[in-house]
A and B are shown apart, each in its own frame.
Chain A
Amino acid sequence: MASEEHENDVLNELKEKIKMLLSKKKRVYFKVESENIVEVAKYLFEKGLRLSTISALENYEGFELIYHFSDDKSGMYYCPKVFIPLDDPKVPSIANNIAGAKWIEREIGELFGVVFVKHPEPKPLLLEDNPKIPKNPLRVKRREHE
Chain B
Amino acid sequence: MSEDFNLPVGPFHPLLEEAEYFKITLDGEKVKEIEMETGWMHRAIEKLSESNTFDQTIFLVERICGICSASHPFACVNALEDIGNVEIPLRARYIRSLIGEMERIHSHLLWLGLAGHFIGYDTLWMWAWKYREPILEVIELITGNRNHYGVFRIGGVRKDYDISLNTRVNEVMDMLEKKLSMVAKAAMDDPVLKSRLCGVGILTKEDAINYCATGPTARASGVAIDVRKDEPYAAYDLLDFDIIVREEGDVFAKTVVRILEMLESIKMVRQIIERLRKISGPIYNDVAEIPAGEGIGRHEAPRGEVFHYIRSDGSNRPIRHKIRAPSYVNIPTYEVSCPGMNLSDVMITLASVDPCYCCTERSVKLFDSKGTEIAQNLLELSQRKTDRLIDELGESELWKLL
Contact = CB atoms under 8 A, between A and B. Distances in A.
Interface of A: 26-27, 29, 50-53, 55-57, 66, 68, 70, 72-75, 77, 79, 98-104, 111, 125-130, 137-138
Contacts of A103: 328-329, 331-332
B42 A127 contact: yes
5 contacts: A73-B230, A100-B210, A127-B42, A128-B37, A137-B44
Given A55-B320, A68-B309, A103-B328, 8 more contacts: A50-B209, A50-B225, A53-B307, A53-B329, A74-B230, A99-B212, A126-B39, A137-B47
Interface string B23-48: 00000000000000111001010110
Contacts of B46: 111, 138
A57 B324 contact: no
Contacts of B47: 137-138
Interface residues of B, number: 35
Given A55-B309, A75-B231, A100 B212 contact: yes
Contacts of A101: 212
A130 B210 contact: no
B322 A53 contact: yes
Contacts of B298: 52
A129 B231 CA distance: 40
B231 A26 contact: yes
A99 B204 CA distance: 14
B305 interface: yes
A130 B39 contact: yes
A99 B211 contact: yes
Given A50-B225, A137-B44, A100 B332 contact: yes
Contacts of B264: none
Contacts of B329: 53, 100, 103
B38 A125 contact: yes
